[in-house]
Structure 1
Amino acid sequence: MNIAVIFAGGTGKRMNTKSKPKQFLEMHGKPVLIYTLENFQQHPMIDKIVLVCLEAWIDYAKSLLKKYAIDKICRIVPGGDSGQESIFHGIQAAHEIFHDEDVVLIHDGVRPLINEDTITSCIKMVKEHGNAITVSPAIETIFLKEADTQQVGKIFNRSSCEMAKAPQCFKLGDIYQAHCRAIEEKKLDFIDSASLMQHYGYPLYTVEGPAENIKITTPVDFYIFRAVMDAKENLQILGF
């Protein structure tokens, strides 16, 4: 089985919106979260979806799932006080239903521009190596910031650097056990699943995804999403 755990538990403070969390903002009349879910709903290799959602918005999310016929959802669970806790809620729900050897794909609800080929490549990589971290090449110079100064620290060769994105994919039993260890050891500040798994000794394998696979965090990201969607629509009109 291949299960997507979609994390839509954030409040979107950096979007400067007071009406709706960022995952429910609409683009061309459709919420961002639905664009994301449709990529997994329509993928032939995805069997089920676990949705992690802000507790106060679960009923609204259910109404959207019905409206847009997202029927691969097998469980909706509330988010936690942090991203790590919210993801664990989703992993835990999946672990109650599925098996340790099943593949789980952890993805942001506000990362709607993932594509079918990347999802397929991730599943194949997990089956071959046990995990798959979606990445894209670094296109800007990256350096370490010197603590408590305005000086530039070590500058990295960007040709050797990649940006970790999503989905981040694992055997369900591996990621569940790693989360349980982190909770037991009170290590609750991992920035993502890749950093958690690397901390516990797992060698990680990469899958290169599309450059436009952005996470919508700020208003600028939302405008980029709109530009990409408009460009794709225009190409379809022109027959490309």
Structure 2
Amino acid sequence: MNVALIFAGGSGTRMNSKGKPKQFLQFYGKELIVHTLENFQNHQNIDAITVVCIEEWIPYLQKLVTKYEIDKVLRIVAGGKTGQESIYNGLKAVSSLNYDNPVVLIHDGVRPFVNEELISSCIESVKKYGSAITVTPAIETIVTIDDNKIQSITDRSKCFHAKAPQCFYLNDILSAHERAISDKQTNIIDSASLMKLYGYELFTVKGNFDNIKITTPADFYTFKALYEVRENQQIFGL
């Protein structure tokens, strides 16, 4: 079994959205979270979807799920005080589905351009290696800085950006979260960092460059351009 765990807990402050979280802003007639969810809804190998959401926005999300017939969403749960706690809440909800150690694809609700090929590659990587971290190559020079001075310049060919989905077997990622809670490690930035901390090997899947995260007003214009490109490709068969 393969379950998508979608994190939609951000408040949208960087988007300057005046109260509405960015995942619920409308783009081309649909809320951003809907664009994201439909990619997993339409993938033949995704069996279920769990969404972690800001608690007061759960009724609104439930209405959207019904409106757009996203029937693979089986759980919507409230987030926590941190991203780490929110994902843990989502993992417990996945566990409540009583599947036998499913593959869990952890993904940002504001990454609407995850595509079918990437989802498939992530599932295959977990089944082969036990993990799948989506990465894209760094396209600019990476430097380390101390006291406003460049200390080192890293070989760019070895540098990648870690993105999402980040995918694991449920038992592994849930166990790592529970160890972190026991160790009072409460603000780890993402699932890859958490799994690396506890000694798990992390294998990568090359992601698509347009799998961007919509977090700022500038990202909206990038979304618009990418969306129009995709629409034109479908219309003209490109």
Partner of 1:128: 128
SS of structure 1 residue aligned to 2:46: coil
- Listed one character per residue, the Cα deviations across residues 165-198 of structure 1 (whole Å, up to 9, x for unaligned) are 0000000000001000101111012110000000
- Alignment CA distance shift 1:98-1:143 (3 Å): farther
Matching residue within 199, 208, 211 for 2:209? 211
**1:29 matched residue in structure 2:** 29
Per-residue deviation, 1:17? 1.3
Instruction: Tell me if structure 2 keeps the 8 A contact 1:100–1:174.
Output: no
For residues 151 and 35 of structure 2, the distance between their equivalents in structure 1, rounded to whole angstroms, comes to: 40
Gapped regions of structure 2 (runs ≥ 5): none
**Shift of residue 205 of structure 1?**
0.2
- Worse overlay, 68-77 or 13-22: 13-22
Q: What is the percentage of aligned positions where both structures have the same residue? A: 57
2:27 aligned with 1:18, yes or no? no
The answer for the alignment partner of 1:156 in structure 2 is 154
CA contact (8 A) 1:99 1:172 kept: no
**SS at the partner of 2:96?**
helix
CA distance in 1, matches of 2:45, 2:233: 27
Partners of 2:4 and 2:208 lie apart in 1 by 19
**Is residue 73 of structure 2 the alignment partner of residue 73 of structure 1?**
yes
Which residue of 1 is the match for residue 173 of structure 2?
175
Letter in 2 for 1:186: K
- Which amino acid is the alignment partner of residue 9 of structure 1? G
Give the 3-state SS of the residue equivalent to 1:236 in structure 2: helix
CA deviation string 1:35-75 (max 9, x = no partner): 10000000000000001000010010011101110000111
Name the aligned partner's letter for residue 162 of structure 2: A
Amino acid at match of 2:114: I
Which structure 1 segments of 5+ residues have no match?
Answer: none
Residue 83 of structure 2 aligns with an amino acid whose one-letter code is G
Paired residues of 1:3 and 1:46 also in contact (CA < 8 A): yes
Shift of 1:220: 1.1
**Structure 1 residue aligned with 2:189:** 191
For the pair 1:102 / 2:112, whether they are aligned, the reply is no
Query: In the alignment, what sits opposite 2:86?
Result: 86
Matches of 2:141 and 2:78 in 1, distance apart?
A: 38
Partner residue, 1:227: 225
Cα distance in 2 for residues equivalent to 1:157 and 1:111? 28
Instruction: Output the CA distance in 2 between the equivalents of 1:7 and 1:26.
Output: 18
SS, match of residue 177 in structure 1: helix
Q: Is contact 1:99-1:173 (8 Å) kept?
A: no
The whole-number CA distance in structure 1 between the counterparts of 2:79 and 2:161 is 25
Matched, 1:116 2:95: no
Q: 1:100 deviation in Å?
A: 5.5
Structure-1-length-normalised TM-score = 0.96
**What is the CA RMSD across the aligned residues, in angstroms?**
1.0
Alpha carbons of structure 1 residues 100 and 239: separation in structure 2 relative to 1, 3 Å: closer
Q: Report what 1:57 is aligned to.
A: 57
